[in-house]
Structure 1
Amino acid sequence: MTGRFGRGRAGIVGMLVGLGALVAPPTGAAAAGEPPPLPATAGRCVGPSPVTVRETPWALRLLAPQAGWPLTRGAGVVVAVVDTGVSAAAPALAGAVRPGADVTGGRADSDCAGRGTALAGLVAARPTGGGPTGIAPDAEILPVRITDGNRRISPARLAAGIRLATTAGADVILVAAGVTTATPDLADAVRAAVARDILVVAAVTDRGGENGGDPPVGYPAGFPAVLAVNAVGVGGAAGPVAADAGTDLAAPGAGLGIAPSGSGHYRIGGAAVAAAYVAGVAALVRAYHPGLSQAEVRARLERTAIPGGGSPREVGAGTLDAYAAVAALAPRQGDPPVPVAAGPVVVPAAPGPSRAARVAGLTVLGAFVVTLLVAAATLTRRGSRRPG
């Protein structure tokens, strides 16, 4: 099994520290038809994007969440996004965003920075007739704002945010931005969430190294109880990581985030994006396997991962396999990945039968087959008793 056994090795990972790490690297003016990177200018709120993307982005072609949607789309699962808030005005999240809470008081269903909204869209964006859909398009979003007026976070704010998400009844907590100090208060907040059977998914630090060196260990991803996630790119390259940071899972680190308003998209990237994809798949697993504990959900995500994470195998962490995580009958480390054909993301016109309906149908079918077998055996016995 992958996971903390990989600690101490240089690896496939890094965790987001600060607002800028979510934004795609600057590439100059956006090409015609290409969405711009998510703005990170303090003091101004992010507005609508001028570009709406219709094509399926690389990350969703790789993850192919639509393969599992006939089984589940995440209904009934609450994913807390502990970040800058989430805009309930975003059309792709209409009806999906709870009021949430700010650590200083009030609601968190608005988002001046745009980062929390972009991540929430990767998790649960609804189909809007165009543009990418989230991994779990029937899941609910619980926004928790932990940033101050300058869009900074602190260990105290982060701990308070995790506690708010815990008491509000989240099933999965997504932490996109971390800190470099492992305070007792933050550790206690994570322990309380795990004790409430909540899966905590956090991005590893993928920025902030001094003099161009490896980034520092980030928290809460650095805590063993947290599922630590790093990004991989199209070519399989992963971000740098501190030698003792460790990682548990990798996922695509590029995406198209929805804007706080309007139907346009921004380019986003980094370990925070990868963690959002993992949180979305965790929502699918929790919806389809409601009897699994958070530890069992985490193990399922790790054990169904594609080995190697696109990097040398000694790294340990695998790359997220969305379909296998949901549908594998008995996942175990070393199983080959389930092949899924990548294609356009299309939401079924109507959801498939519920899990209870499928079970009932199989029960009736089984009873019918047993009846046929008994009748056949009776006829065989009668025929054998006839005189020759």
Structure 2
Amino acid sequence: MIVAVWTISAGTVMPAAADADPPFDYLKVMRAEQMWKVADGSGITVAVVDSGFKEVPGVRSESVLPGVSVMSPPINDPDKKYPAHDDVEGHGTSMTAVIVGDGTGGAPKGLAPGAKVMPVRTSLGTTMAFAAGTEGAQGIRYAADNRAKIINLSWGDYYARDKIRDAVKYAQDKGALIFTTMGNDGDANNSGNLITMIPGVLGVGALDETGEPMELSSHGPDTDLSGYGGKARIRCRENSAWCVRNGGTSYATALTSAAAALVWSAHPDWTATQVARVLIQTAGGPVDGAKRNDWVGYGVARPSKVLVDRAGEPGAPDGDPLASPAPVKAPAPSQTAAAAAAPAKAAEAGLPWQWPALGAVVAVGLGLGFMVTVKRRRG
């Protein structure tokens, strides 16, 4: 049965001890240390509309703004208030750490450690989760009104899409850039996140350590970018400690929001359209020359191409960044052990994908089970 609102979390993947090391250092692959010499996200606020934020080891309090809770009070206690800095489930706390974590206490090191996260707490992760879509729409408006540059939606919704669409348009008119997850249903019926179909919202898929799209990653014509979603540090159930699990498309979305924060921090005069455009242009595109595919969109976000290599053309301050982008071509992959070990289905699919600096050949393929038109940003 499809539920109204769902977070894209670790699911049933293998937990590990809090002090175990994730097997893949995506920050090194992304050249984070080099990027941080240029920009670290300072001056950029990322609103994480999610399950809230709990103060935990690994996330400095100064990196997190007061935020707000938009949770609906229970019927029998209409005056009940919920603090934004609480998170019974841990999903919002994990997404916050992906962006601004300090790497201590078992937490991940955030990709944009100089940014600020604005927690917007919804009912995700509680028994009132059915209200989270409507609450999320309120949260998007709050974030836009309080000058969040980037709004991260690492969850999906089926029934409040009209309210979310109107809130997205409101936020876009105020200059915000919005990322959302494609979903973690790619290995089942591949039901997608309807928020990805809203014009201007960038849908994010997930890659594993080899650069291959994760089988769980939902995919289709609204996949725009991708990020790492394999084994990583996230909060254990009930927000009790740090564990190592698959991050999925939630993690990939937060990483992509952080990538945008880095680019925007280095170019504060750019608009949301220009930031999105250069991320699309510099994404690790298909080595067969195709502009995009349904598994990973235009490719994995590579902010180092913009910050370190100075690639990408921001273009006009408005318009549609998805309209005929001209990706910056990456070098052809070498015959590395990673490429040689890629699954046979990658070769069968015929549309290989590049994970930055690895050159792995990866699988692409099926689209959604329903057709939608390619979304466009409202001008």
Same fold (TM over 0.5): yes
Shift of 1:242: 6.0
Q: Does the CA contact (< 8 Å) of 1:86 and 1:117 recur in 2? A: yes
Change (3 A) 1:108 1:311: farther
Change (3 A) 1:324 1:112: same
- Residue 136 of structure 2 is aligned to residue 136 of structure 1: no
- Residue 328 of structure 2 is aligned to residue 335 of structure 1: yes
Q: What is the match of residue 65 of structure 1?
A: 32
Using the alignment, how far apart are the partners of 1:252 and 1:306 within structure 2? 12
Shift of 1:17: 5.5
Using the alignment, how far apart are the partners of 1:126 and 1:264 within structure 2? 13
From 226, 236, 250, the equivalent of 1:272 is 250
Using the alignment, how far apart are the partners of 1:309 and 1:241 within structure 2? 22
Using the alignment, how far apart are the partners of 2:254 and 2:287 within structure 1? 17
Q: Deviations over 1:90-124 (max 9, x none)?
A: 44333211121111354311211111111110111
Change (3 A) 1:314 1:127: closer
**Structure 2 unpaired stretches of 5+:** 72-80, 314-325, 332-354, 359-379
Q: What is the match of residue 226 of structure 1?
A: 201
Change (3 A) 1:214 1:261: closer
| Bigger relative contact order (CA 8 A; separation at least 6) | 1
From 165, 174, 178, the equivalent of 1:187 is 165
Amino acid at match of 1:331: G
**Structure 1 unpaired stretches of 5+:** 1-15, 36-50, 343-388
From 76, 99, 122, the equivalent of 2:43 is 76
From 139, 142, 145, the equivalent of 2:121 is 145
Using the alignment, how far apart are the partners of 2:178 and 2:330 within structure 1? 24
Shift of 1:261: 7.5
Using the alignment, how far apart are the partners of 2:100 and 2:273 within structure 1? 22
Instruction: List aligned pairs for 1:10-159, cutoff 5 A.
Output: 18-19=6-7, 21-27=8-14, 30=15, 34-35=16-17, 51-53=18-20, 57-104=24-71, 105-128=81-104, 132-147=108-123, 149-150=126-127, 152-153=129-130, 154-159=132-137
Amino acid at match of 1:142: M
Amino acid at match of 1:156: T
Instruction: List aligned pairs for 1:266-305, cutoff 5 A.
Output: 266-305=244-283
SS of equivalent to 1:318: coil
Using the alignment, how far apart are the partners of 1:97 and 1:195 within structure 2? 25
Shift of 1:225: 0.9
From 283, 286, 292, the equivalent of 1:308 is 286
Using the alignment, how far apart are the partners of 1:125 and 1:310 within structure 2? 36
Using the alignment, how far apart are the partners of 1:123 and 1:309 within structure 2? 29
Q: What is the match of residue 307 of structure 2?
A: 326
Using the alignment, how far apart are the partners of 2:292 and 2:37 within structure 1? 36
Using the alignment, how far apart are the partners of 1:173 and 1:120 within structure 2? 12
Shift of 1:266: 4.1
Using the alignment, how far apart are the partners of 2:106 and 2:10 within structure 1? 23
Change (3 A) 1:224 1:306: same
SS of equivalent to 1:82: strand
The normalised TM-score by structure 1 is: 0.69
Change (3 A) 1:208 1:234: closer
Q: Answer with 1 or 2: which has the greater Rg.
A: 1
Q: What is the match of residue 359 of structure 1?
A: none
Amino acid at match of 2:36: W
Q: Does the CA contact (< 8 Å) of 2:98 and 2:254 recur in 1? A: yes
Amino acid at match of 1:71: V
Amino acid at match of 1:152: A
Change (3 A) 1:188 1:267: same
Change (3 A) 1:83 1:199: same
Q: Does the CA contact (< 8 Å) of 2:217 and 2:249 recur in 1? A: no
Using the alignment, how far apart are the partners of 2:289 and 2:99 within structure 1? 25
Shift of 1:186: 1.4
Query: CA RMSD for the aligned pairs?
Result: 3.2
Change (3 A) 1:113 1:241: closer
Using the alignment, how far apart are the partners of 2:197 and 2:141 within structure 1? 18
Shift of 1:130: 7.1
Using the alignment, how far apart are the partners of 1:313 and 1:205 within structure 2? 22
Using the alignment, how far apart are the partners of 1:258 and 1:183 within structure 2? 28
Change (3 A) 1:261 1:205: closer
Identity of aligned residues (%): 25
- Residue 295 of structure 2 is aligned to residue 317 of structure 1: no
Shift of 1:179: 0.6
Q: Deviations over 1:20-79 (max 9, x none)?
A: x4115334xx5xxx43xxxxxxxxxxxxxxx22456734333323222010011112111
Change (3 A) 1:55 1:25: closer
Using the alignment, how far apart are the partners of 1:223 and 1:301 within structure 2? 19
Amino acid at match of 2:12: P
Which is richer in helix? 1
Using the alignment, how far apart are the partners of 2:9 and 2:114 within structure 1? 25
